[in-house]
């Protein structure tokens, strides 16, 4: 069974709006790569960044644009 971004986020302890924002971010950035990002642990790294509030700091300019967009629309 394939792991999803949502499952990775839940395993990392994300809940509610933070989990929703993490999943939205991951699907916008890596929708075509969900399986590989989950298998390699990269999705887990991002879940940890969201959990610790470091998602903006860890993002490149495109990622920060996506974050501003999804946080504005929550």
What pLDDT is stored for residue 71 in this prediction? Answer: 87
Q: Tokens representing 6?
A: 């949502």
Position 74 confidence tier, pLDDT thresholds 50, 70, 90: low
pLDDT at 69 exceeding the cut of 80: yes
Q: Tokens representing 23?
A: 């999943």
Neighbours of 51 (CB within 10 A): 17
Percentage of the chain lying above the pLDDT 70 cut: 96
Give 20-47 pLDDT, tens digit per residue.
999 999 999 998 999 999 999 999 999 9
């Amino acid at each position: 069974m394939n792991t999803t971004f949502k499952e990775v986020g839940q395993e990392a302890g994300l809940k509610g709006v933070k989990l929703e924002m993490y999943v939205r971010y991951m699907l916008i950035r890596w929708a075509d790569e969900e399986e590989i990002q989950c298998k390699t642990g990269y999705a887990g790294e991002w879940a940890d960044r969201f959990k610790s509030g470091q998602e903006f700091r860890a993002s490149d300019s495109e990622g920060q644009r996506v974050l501003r967009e999804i946080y504005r629309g929550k």
